[in-house]
């Protein structure tokens, strides 16, 4: 779709809480913020979608009946966690492509809602992909959380460290265990026995 055309649809969508007229009238419109598979640049694309149950929506990579998949298809395959706008809401979804019997079971329902999809599919050789977008309650990320910094680790209190040692039955927790001692153990600089010995010093 032409960038200027998309921009006009997106603007109309946002000023009318998701309602778009013209050729989009009667459709449920969703804006997908997909990240480029190679460029890693985020782009916003308006699509029609099919509301399902359990906070899920189906979208079809019809590309207007073209013999090639739309660019956003490859972006969703590479980066399936994305942000969408629906109505007045913005939230995160997980995009999963349907295959085999799952797609075959879903396809008739989509064609009943939008008969033109059947006409488009009949006119091309490629099978138009179907994705299910599932709303996520928490942000998903492929990046693991960063380890705590040294200053964050030093915030361990002596009481918390002592509680941790009490969970290990072979070593009694010293009453005056210091936070720095706990850090030393965590970093491998001291053993629990070292800490027990340190606790006996005057």
Six-digit token string for 61: 């990579």
Spell out the residues 6+ positions from residue 94 whose beta carbon is closer than 8 angstroms to its own: 80, 81, 133, 134, 136, 140
What are the helix (H) ranges across 44-178? 71-78, 100-113, 115-122, 150-153, 158-166
pLDDT at 84: 97
Percent of the chain with pLDDT over 70: 67
- Phi then psi for residue 66, to 5 deg, are -75, 160
93-120 residue pLDDT tens: 999 999 999 999 999 999 999 999 999 9
pLDDT at 23: 86
pLDDT at 137: 85
- Domains of the chain from N-terminus onward: 3-135 (2.30.110.10), 150-199 (no CATH)
pLDDT at 29: 96
**pLDDT means over runs of 10, the chain (202 residues):** 85 92 91 94 95 96 95 96 96 98 97 95 97 84 51 46 46 48 46 51 51
pLDDT at 3: 84
Average pLDDT along the chain: 80
């Amino acid at each position: 779709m032409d960038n200027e055309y998309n921009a006009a649809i997106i603007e109309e969508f946002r000023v009318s809480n998701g309602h778009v007229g013209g050729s989009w009238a009667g459709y449920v419109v969703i804006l997908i913020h997909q990240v480029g598979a190679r460029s890693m640049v985020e782009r916003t694309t308006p699509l029609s979608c099919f509301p399902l149950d359990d906070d899920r929506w189906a979208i079809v990579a019809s590309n207007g009946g073209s013999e090639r998949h739309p660019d956003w298809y490859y972006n969703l395959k590479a980066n399936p966690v994305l942000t969408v706008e629906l109505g007045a809401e913005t939230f995160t979804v997980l995009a999963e492509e349907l295959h085999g019997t799952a797609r075959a079971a879903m396809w008739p329902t989509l064609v009943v809602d939008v008969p033109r999809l059947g006409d488009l599919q009949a006119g091309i050789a490629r099978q138009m992909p179907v994705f299910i977008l599932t709303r996520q309650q928490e942000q998903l990320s492929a990046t693991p959380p960063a380890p705590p910094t040294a200053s964050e680790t030093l915030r361990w209190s002596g009481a918390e460290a002592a509680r941790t040692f009490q969970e290990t039955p072979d070593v009694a927790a010293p009453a005056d265990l210091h936070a720095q001692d706990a850090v030393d153990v965590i970093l491998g600089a001291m053993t629990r026995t070292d800490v027990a010995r340190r606790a006996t010093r005057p």
